[in-house]
């Protein structure tokens, strides 16, 4: 099983759309997926402890990232240039240490989902306080589509206090 992926291993792979990472992977190293412009989402397994510098830099199509519960460090510029990133789901009870670049990026549409009961913990942690943090249960649903012909649909899931589901759809052309 793969436990490490080398420096810049997939950097510049512009046709890379989907990645399934090993459940034994320990770290995503520097620039591993930088400039993978077709990559739309990534699920970082619970085994990963570090997301390296510029790991996903300039992944222009990246819209959703799920960060496993063992990530302790998100290094500088990990998601810089990811202008379409709208959902960062962090499954850790303890907020990972992040470089200020995550909170200072122009990610006005970014929603950070954290486990139920942890919103205040994240808001009190250094460099997380300026982000739009929302609590979502572990079993929340996530469907993000972006179709240039029809529009964008987002199914985020239920919140911690109800069984409701939030759905947003933005058609490009009226039906």
Q: Where are the alpha helices (DSSP H) in the chain?
A: 100-104, 119-124
Separation CA 46–CA 163 (nearest Å): 26
Determine which of 9-13, 67-71, 147-151 has the lowest per-residue pLDDT on average. 147-151
Percentage of the chain modeled with pLDDT above 90: 59
Please tell me the pTM assigned to this model. Answer: 0.79
| Confidence at 175, pLDDT banded by 50, 70, 90 | very low
Mean pLDDT rounded to a whole number for the chain:
83
Average pLDDT over residues 33-54: 96
Average pLDDT over residues 144-172: 58
Separation CA 131–CA 122 (nearest Å): 9
In this structure, what token pair is assigned to residue 104?
């200072």
**Cα radius of gyration rounded to whole Å, the chain:** 16
Determine which of 28-37, 65-74, 118-127, 140-149 has the lowest per-residue pLDDT on average. 140-149
Separation CA 120–CA 133 (nearest Å): 9
Residue 157 has pLDDT above 70, yes or no: no
pLDDT at 105 (0 to 100): 57
Percentage of the chain modeled with pLDDT above 70: 73
pLDDT at 102 (0 to 100): 67
pLDDT at 20 (0 to 100): 94
């Amino acid at each position: 099983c793969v436990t490490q992926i080398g420096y810049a291993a997939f950097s510049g792979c512009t046709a890379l759309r989907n990645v399934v990472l090993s459940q034994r992977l320990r770290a995503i190293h520097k620039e591993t997926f930088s400039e993978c412009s077709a990559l739309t989402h990534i699920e970082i397994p619970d085994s990963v402890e570090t997301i390296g510098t510029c790991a996903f830099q300039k992944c222009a199509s990246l819209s959703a990232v799920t960060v496993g519960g063992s990530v302790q460090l998100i290094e500088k510029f990990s998601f810089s240039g990811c202008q379409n990133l709208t959902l960062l789901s962090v499954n850790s009870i303890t907020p990972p240490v992040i470089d200020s670049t995550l909170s200072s990026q122009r990610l006005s549409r970014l929603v950070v989902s954290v486990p139920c009961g942890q919103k205040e913990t994240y808001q009190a942690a250094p460099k997380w306080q300026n982000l739009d943090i929302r609590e979502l249960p572990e079993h929340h649903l996530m469907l993000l589509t972006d179709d240039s012909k029809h529009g964008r649909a987002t199914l985020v899931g239920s919140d911690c206090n109800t069984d409701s589901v939030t759905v947003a759809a933005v058609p490009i052309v009226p039906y």
